[in-house]
Amino acid sequence: MPHATATARKHRSRFQWAELLSRFERSGLSASAFCAQESISIANFYRQRALHRTDQPDHAPASAQGFVDLGAIGASDAGARLEIKLDLGGGVVLHMVRG
């Protein structure tokens, strides 16, 4: 009967997780292969990746101004294809297409 071996948990700082996640992005490996290579739990990897994504937004914070007037669509442009993607945060993206 095989013996189960307990793996000791290693506490990593936020900086260490950021470095680890950066290495993963550069590695070209799948998440499960990278976690096996680094001896980390896949569940903990996904949790830390989600936490770091919310801490470090991809974009600069929106300006204080809430509305930007882009002008009216001219009559000649009214039938043209229009595609809008709005990232609402938290993994929610609003995608609208006309035409």
pLDDT in tens, 59-98: 555 555 577 777 776 666 667 788 889 888 888 899 998 8
pLDDT of residue 75: 62
Is the separation of the CB atoms in 31 and 42 below 8 Å?
Answer: yes
Q: Model pTM?
A: 0.47
pLDDT of residue 36: 94
| pLDDT tens track for 28-69 | 999 999 999 999 999 999 999 988 887 655 555 555 557 777
3-state SS, 28-43, equals: CCCHHHHHHHHCCCHH
Q: What residue spans define the domains of the chain?
A: 14-59+81-98
| pLDDT tens track for 1-19 | 555 555 567 788 889 999 9
- Cα–Cα distance between 87 and 62 in angstroms, integer? 12
Please tell me whether residue 48 adopts helix, strand or coil conformation.
helix
